[in-house]
Each structure stands twice: as C-alpha cells, then as structure tokens.
C-alpha cells in the first residue's frame, strides 16, 4: 500500500503551532465522541482529512448500532480561528503503531501541532451527583506544568496489571513523547449507571477545561440544559422507583452496592434515561 492510500488530506490547514484534541468512538458512555461533536459543532470546525480504514480495521462486514450500519471513521477537523486540530476515530484493531504514527505525522509533521490532549472516560462507582474531576497522565514534566493551573489531577501511580493492556491514549502520548511532543491522556470518571445513557456533566467538564485552556469563548448553555433535563428525569425516576434512589444515595456516601444491586441500578437507570 502506498502512502497516498493510507490517508487523505483534503486541504492542509495553515495554523501556527496548533494543539490537538483526540478521542475514540468506543469511549465508555461515548463521552469522547460527545465532547468532540460538541466542539466541532460549536467551533464551526471543518473536516480536512482522514485515515483510510484498510489495514487497520477488519473488513469483515459491518456492525449495526441504533438500527443503522457503522463503518470505521478516522477524521481530522480544524478550527482555524482557535488554532485547534481535532481527531475522532474508531480504535484501530491492528497495526496500532503505524496508525498512531500517521496521526502524529499529519498533526505534528504536517500541521506543526505543539501539544496533544487525548481524552476519554473512566467508569466510576461514584454517584452522578459528585463533582466531575479531570485526571491525567502526562508524557513529560513540561505537560504537567501546562496542566497545573487548571486543577487537573496528575499524581497517579500505576502499573498495568497482568491480563490488561495500556490504553490507546497512553500509547498515543507515549509515541508523542518519542517525538519530543508534550501530551496528556485525560479521563473524566463517569458513573457506571450512566454509561448506557449520557453524562452531560462529564462532557461539560471537558468543554470547560478546553474553553479555559484555549480561550474558546464557547457557549455551554446547551450542555447546562441537558444536565438540567437529566436531573429532572432522574428525580422523576427516584419518585417512581425508590429502590434506585436508595442505591444512588448509598453511592453518595461511599457505601458499596452488591453486584445484583449495581446491575439493577445500571439497567433501570439506563432504560429510563434512554426512553424517548
């Protein structure tokens, strides 16, 4: 396969040392795609390129989601006004090293990106009423300094346990470090019982951070409305189903639930919030 077949750049953006925000479609609770969709829409970003799926995804039919077929996408967007590049992709199933290096070739080599933010969700057992925090893993002390003024937690001690693998975001920022490019993998904990629905608070937490970091002047009223609407629906569910409220109240005071109770909370909350 020659390089032209691996990716397409429709029109190279002319930016001055932009930043990259990257996310993956398979993120827990679809948080990454929600944040990216919101930013792309609000910042009026335009698509400027894509990585083609062949060689990175098994071309063995299609998956169906919400009654429609899905096909792998790996797209680059640009906001000229805000000097931002945004990347949203399905997680490659093979040849990760080559794929992630193409992301860096396009954004770092071609567009001159100066820092990378790879975002995602972390499934949490905390209640939805708890404040959302951003946790980070950085690839350099320089990136830690960049994040320092924004109240982002960056003190994790961690080693991948046997049988598990590092996240693709860690892999991406590690490859960025090999190129001398500061990067951070960011997570916002999302309550496990909102994974089947949405977590607008988590989405807003990210948007607020990027708003401050890049002076975006973004209007977040839509997310505030979404949060209020979800609050109302959850309050209605609590009224109809006191057991579910009891489970959430216990999580609020760090009282763990039995596996059957957790399962019930996730199922009943998910079903209720997904009702039209």
Partner 1 sequence: MGIRFIKEPELINPVMIACWPGIGNIGLIAVDNMRRVLQAEEMAYIEPWDFFYPSRVIIHSGEIREMQFPASMFYFKKTGERDLIFFIGEEQPAEGGRVYAEGSKAYAMANLVLDIAERFGCKRIYTSGAAVAPIHHTARSRVWVVPNSKALLPEVKKYDNCLLMSDIEGRGGQGNITGLNGLLLGVAGRRGLEAVCMMGEIPVYLQGFPFPYPKASKSVLEVLTSALGVPMEMESINGLAEQSEFELSSLYEKLPPEIKEQLDRLKQVLIATENNAGIITEEDKKKILEDIDKFFKKEGREEQH
Which residues make up the interface to partner 1 (CB under 8 A)?
58, 93-98, 136-141, 144, 153-160, 165-166, 170-171, 173-174, 177
Return the number of the residue (163 or 217) whose C-beta is nearest partner 1. 163
Cα 61 from Cα 33, distance rounded (Å): 23
Output the smallest distance, CB 38 to partner 1, in A. 27
Return the number of the residue (163 or 276) whose C-beta is nearest partner 1. 163
Return the number of the residue (58 or 276) whose C-beta is nearest partner 1. 58
Output the smallest distance, CB 196 to partner 1, in A. 24
Return the number of the residue (147 or 218) whose C-beta is nearest partner 1. 147
C-alpha 210, offset from chain centre: 13
Return the number of the residue (134 or 218) whose C-beta is nearest partner 1. 134
Output the smallest distance, CB 133 to partner 1, in A. 13
Return the number of the residue (99 or 206) whose C-beta is nearest partner 1. 99
Output the smallest distance, CB 260 to partner 1, in A. 13
Cα 172 from Cα 83, distance rounded (Å): 21
Whether the CA torsion 131, 137, 141, 143 is positive or negative: it is negative
Output the smallest distance, CB 56 to partner 1, in A. 11
* Residue 17: count of CB within 10 angstroms of its CB: 10
Q: CA of 101: how far to CAs of 96, 106, 108, 111, 225, in Å? A: 8, 8, 10, 14, 39
Output the smallest distance, CB 159 to partner 1, in A. 5
Cα 123 from Cα 93, distance rounded (Å): 22
Answer whether 107's CB lies under 8 Å from 113's CB. Answer: yes
3-state secondary structure of 253: coil
């Amino acid at each position: 396969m020659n390089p032209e077949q691996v990716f397409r750049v429709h029109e190279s953006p002319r930016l001055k040392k932009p930043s990259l925000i990257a996310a993956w479609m398979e993120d827990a609770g679809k948080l990454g795609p929600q944040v990216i969709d919101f930013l792309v829409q609000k910042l009026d970003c335009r698509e400027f390129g894509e990585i083609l799926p062949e060689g990175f995804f098994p071309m063995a039919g299609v998956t169906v989601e919400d009654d429609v077929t899905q096909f792998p996408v790996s797209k680059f967007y640009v906001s000229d006004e805000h000097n931002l590049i945004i990347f949203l992709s399905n997680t490659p199933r093979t040849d990760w090293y080559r794929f992630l290096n193409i992301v860096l070739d396009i954004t770092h080599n071609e567009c001159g990106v100066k820092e990378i933010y790879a975002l995602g969700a972390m499934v949490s057992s905390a209640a939805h009423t708890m404040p959302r925090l951003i946790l980070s893993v950085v690839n350099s002390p320089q990136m830690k300094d960049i994040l320092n003024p924004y109240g982002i937690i960056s003190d994790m001690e961690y080693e991948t346990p046997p049988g598990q693998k590092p996240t693709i975001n860690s892999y991406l920022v590690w490859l960025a470090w090999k190129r001398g490019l500061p990067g951070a993998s960011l997570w916002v904990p999302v309550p496990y019982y909102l994974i089947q629905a949405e977590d607008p608070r988590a989405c807003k937490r990210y948007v607020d951070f990027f708003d401050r970091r890049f002076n975006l002047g973004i209007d977040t009223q839509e997310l505030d409305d979404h949060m209020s609407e979800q609050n109302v629906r959850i309050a209605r569910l609590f009224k109809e189903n006191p057991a579910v409220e009891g489970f959430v109240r216990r999580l609020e005071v760090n009282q763990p639930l039995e596996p059957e109770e957790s399962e019930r909370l996730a199922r009943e909350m998910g079903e209720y919030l997904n009702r039209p």
